[in-house]
Amino acid sequence: MENLIKQFNIKGNIVSIDKYGNGHINKTFLVKTTEETYIFQFINNNVFNNVNMLMHNIDLVTTHLLNKGSKTLEIVKTKDGKLYTKYGNDYFRGYKYIDNSVCYEKLPSLEMVTEAAKGFGKFHSDLSDIDISQIGDVIPDFHNTVKRYEVFKSIVQKDPCKRKALCEDDVLFLMSRKSDYSLLVDALEKGKINKSITHNDPKINNVVFDKKTNKVSCVLDLDTVMTGTFLYDFGDALRSLFTGDNEDSMDTSKLVCNLDIYRAYLDGYFAKMKDVINAKEIELLPYSILVITEELALRFLGDYINGDKYFGVDYPTHNLVRAKTQIALAKDIIKHLDDLKQITNEIVQKYK
């Protein structure tokens, strides 16, 4: 490890190397030297098989953000100017550590929800003028809900494990929502909404806060940065906030559309996005949460019917339980769409 790290442009002499964080994808280490602190990672090449594209995307995005004067991850290059190095079959990279920072698995207040939303709003706003033609798709069609639905239909028709009969009502519900799946995709293809940079993992624990002020510092984990619409991130952020710890819960009554959280998040997000968001994108804000929730339901239920080939499971019906939680949330979002639209109008008027 020490010899590997010494291939990078680090300052000072290495004092300690410790495992860091609880991420499941990449192996991460906290490296302290006599002058600086760094984060080093082995990149999971099974998940990210085009490491060159992955690091090229991150370099473009972070350079753009730094040029805007915004705080972001900063790549530590190798001594020969590369973004990463290869070690056997593994790929290794480094970042500067963000001092006085803290991440939360749960936010303690609605004020903090608003603050986190400002982080993602600023991220999207700052990147609204980047040359997106230079950004590659690390996972093609990741949020293409039309294609996700076609894959789901194919799995249901084949029913390889004879599980469809165990979830007939869930299948019928997701098929009844077919018109939802083209809402964002069609608007993007027809140019009604802008093609933009998406983070694609906008969970709260990917926002860094300043330890002293609890003000948002920047957004972490840029491995899945791609092009699409920022509505993908907005919808998924709210979906994950509404879901909370209940993604694996058998008690679907816990899956509710929390209007207070929506108001708090939209307030922070719109404050940073008001100058770049268009009328159609504003209209689709509430629908984006529904579409992304239904997308995840399609993926979980499809994987269950297909024999649990993609998502790891702890018991035979785990993916079915996950699908039911997303379906329960989707149904509650549908019930509250008018409320979400009303809140959206109120926040938009506030910032006019």
CATH assignment of the domain containing 23: 3.30.200.20
Q: What pLDDT is recorded for position 306?
A: 98
Residue 26 has pLDDT above 80, yes or no: no
Residues 120 and 226 in one domain: yes
Among 99, 60, 85, 89, which residue's Cα sits nearest to residue 9?
A: 85
Q: Is residue 11 part of a domain?
A: yes
Q: What is the mean pLDDT of residues 74-79?
A: 97
Residue 224, C-beta contacts closer than 8 angstroms, at least 6 positions apart? 138, 139, 142, 199, 200, 201
Paired strand residues for 43: 91
Q: pLDDT confidence of 21, banded at 50, 70, 90?
A: confident
Q: Is residue 144 part of a domain?
A: yes
Longest dimension (CA), the chain: 63
pLDDT one-digit tens code per residue, 219-232:
999 999 999 999 99
**Strand 90-96 vs strand 85-87: parallel, antiparallel, or unpaired?**
antiparallel
- The single-letter DSSP state of residue 86 is E
Q: What pLDDT is recorded for position 44?
A: 77
pTM value is: 0.95
Distance separating alpha carbons of residues 9 and 2, to the nearest angstrom = 13
The alpha carbon of 6 is separated from its chain's Cα centroid by a whole number of angstroms, namely: 32
Q: Is residue 103 part of a domain?
A: no
Q: Is residue 246 part of a domain?
A: yes
Residues 137 and 73 in one domain: no
pLDDT one-digit tens code per residue, 133-178:
999 999 999 999 999 999 999 999 999 999 999 999 999 999 999 9
HSE-CB at 21 with a 13 A cutoff on CA atoms is: 21
Which stretch of DSSP H or E encloses residue 189? helix 183-189
Q: What pLDDT is recorded for position 22?
A: 65
* Number of independent structural domains in the chain: 2
**Strand 207-210 vs strand 37-43: parallel, antiparallel, or unpaired?**
unpaired
Check if the beta carbon of residue 242 is closer than 8 Å to that of residue 334: no
The amino acid that residue 324 corresponds to is: K
Q: pLDDT confidence of 255, banded at 50, 70, 90?
A: very high
Phi, psi at residue 225, to the nearest 5°? -65, 125
Give the residue from 44, 72, 98 where a domain finishes. Answer: 98
Residue 245 has pLDDT above 60, yes or no: yes
Average confidence score pLDDT of the chain: 95
- The single-letter DSSP state of residue 47 is T
Distance separating alpha carbons of residues 319 and 304, to the nearest angstrom = 5
Which residues constitute the domain of residue 283?
110-350
Residue 90 has pLDDT above 90, yes or no: no
